Amino acid sequence: MEIKIRNVDPIALKKIDEMAKKKSISRQEYLKSVIEKTAYDPETNEQIKHLELIIEKNAYVMEEATKSISRLENLLVELLEE
């Protein structure tokens, strides 16, 4: 798909060209990557938030499991001492 943008500030265009040059790519390639990244970022951010929540829940479950194992170990030690 093709996009045309008119009336872009020349100073902004110069900065875009400089950023593209730093990456050794054309202006077109640079702007294409910026547009695509902008389009997908909200989706990616939601996925990251979801994964972070899963990690937090897993960490909590692991902490609770560790506490339970510790209590069981203590109980076993007490039973073996009797």
Residue 62's pLDDT is: 97
Buried b (16+ CB within 10 A) or exposed e, 42-81: eeeeeeeeeeeeeeeeeeeeeeeeeeeeeeeeeeeeeeee
Segments of the chain scoring below 70 in pLDDT: none
Report the predicted TM-score, pTM, of the whole model to 2 decimal places: 0.52
Does residue 81 contact residue 73 with C-beta atoms inside 8 Å?
A: no
Residue 34's pLDDT is: 92
DSSP H stretches of helix in 1-82: 10-22, 27-81
- Encode 30-43 in three state secondary structure: HHHHHHHHHHHHHH
